[in-house]
Structures are given as C-alpha cells and as structure tokens.
Structure 1
Amino acid sequence: MRKHRRLTFRHIGQINVTNRLSGDPMGVVLDVSMGGLRLVTEEPLAPGSCYDMRLEIPVREDHTRSVDITAICQWSKKDAKNVRFEQGFKLDRPSAAFTELVTSMSVSFNRSLLGRARLS
C-alpha cells in the first residue's frame, strides 16, 4: 500500500531531470510524492543505486526552478511500448526544497480539482 499520494504531470508541464554531478540528461518525471518519484528514461538505471539528481521545474514560460535531490532506484522496467524505461526512486530524507515543491504542487492540484468540480 502506498504511503504517499502521487501527483502526475499530464497538464502542468514537464519536469526534466539531469545528473547533478555531470549535468547529463537523465529523463522526465512521470509522477512524484513525498516519498519519491517515477522517472522515464532512454536507458535502464540500476536498482539499488543512489543518484544525485537535479529537477528542472517549469515556473514561467522561459524560467525554471531547480531542486536537487539524492534518490535510490527501487525498480526499473520497460514501458508498455518497450521503447523507454520507467524507474521508481525513493527519497529517504527529502530536502526542504523537495518537500516544499510537492506540497505546493499538491495544493495547486487540489485547487484545480475543486475548480473542475464547481464547473460540473
């Protein structure tokens, strides 16, 4: 059973992830929770390995906000189309910036749901 609610990014923009140490692109975030995130990549990553990542969150049209995290890969599998790989990552000690990010996204997501419910 999940410990934290996941937020998906179908309508709020793409969060790109790079290797914090080398600057190389790693992939794109599919969803995030207080406990971790799911990432899609071109190549598989090793379960059990620790990765230093930089999340690039779109704030405005030409501006992003960076959040640095260290996460442990929990699992890796090919996607349904067998083109890319999905990985699940766990954050043992999320940074204050990551916690703030997820909290603010959760508030925005809930407001969006309330707005849609009122229109119905």
Structure 2
Amino acid sequence: MYKKRRIERQHLPCFLKVFNGINGKPMGFLGNVSADGLMLISSLPLMVGADFDLLLKTPTEEGPQQDIVLRASCLWCHEDVTPQHFDAGFSLQWAPPEYGQLVSALQQYFSFHSLPASA
C-alpha cells in the first residue's frame, strides 16, 4: 500500500534530530523526508496509529536555530537493519510553510544535478 509514492523521498540518515513536540525529549533522527510525510529512525518502537507532535530543530544561516513543529500520524513501525533501532513512517496532518522550505532545501542538497556539457 505504501509502495505507491507520488514523489520519491530523499534519503536523510542521521542529519537532523527529531524531538517530542510536547516535552522536548529526543525521539530519533530523520531517515527520509517528503512533502507529505517522513521516516523517523528511533531507538524505541513507536505506537502505530498514534498522533505525534514532532519538533525539528534546524540550523539557519543567520545563526539561531529554527524550530519547526509538525503534527503527524504514525502509519507503520518496524525494526531497522541496525540492531536496537526502529523505523517509523509518518503521514503529516499539519506542517507550517517552513517544513516545505526544509523539504525543498534537503531535496536540492541531496540530489544529483547533471553538469552542462562542455564545448
């Protein structure tokens, strides 16, 4: 069911920490990201079907970090290939415009661009 993605997700292992939006405690790292959802890599399994407030703390060029708060539903969770780690897939219920900007920036950063042919 989840293999029919409209947009290919970008692979993003262990670059950005994800925190619990309620208590600020670390939950894991972003594994993949798209405009409609994300994958979280965590040391604990997460409850499937539950809604979560997630907090991303992103660096900015100006200096202080930018906090992006998301509301997402956990669609699936299974053990990662790395021992004692779990992958959880989330569907976004609500995200601010800054999340879309983050997705675009990460897609550009992690994409391969062909160079123009030299004459």
SS of the residue 1:106 aligns to: helix
Amino acid in the other structure paired with 1:92: Q
Does the Cα contact within 8 Å between 2:42 and 2:86 map onto a contact in 1?
Answer: yes
Query: Within the alignment, does 1:58 sit opposite 2:59 as a pair?
Result: yes
Unaligned runs of 5+ in 2: none
Uncovered stretches (5+) of structure 1, i.e. residues with no partner: none
| Structure-2 separation of matches of 1:67 and 1:81 | 28
* Cα distance in 2 for residues equivalent to 1:20 and 1:39: 14
Q: Distance in 2 between matches of 1:57 and 1:108?
A: 14
Query: Higher helix proportion, which one?
Result: 1
Query: Structure 1: how far apart are the matches of 2:15 and 2:110?
Result: 15
RMSD (Å), alpha carbons:
2.3
Which residues in structure 2 correspond to 1:83-98 (within 5 Å)? 83-98=84-99
**TM-score, normalized by length of structure 2?**
0.81
- Per-residue deviation, residues 17-72 of structure 1 (Å, max 9, x unmatched): 11111011100001100010000111100000000010122345x75322110110
Supply the distance in 1 between the matched residues of 2:58 and 2:10 (Cα, whole angstroms). 14
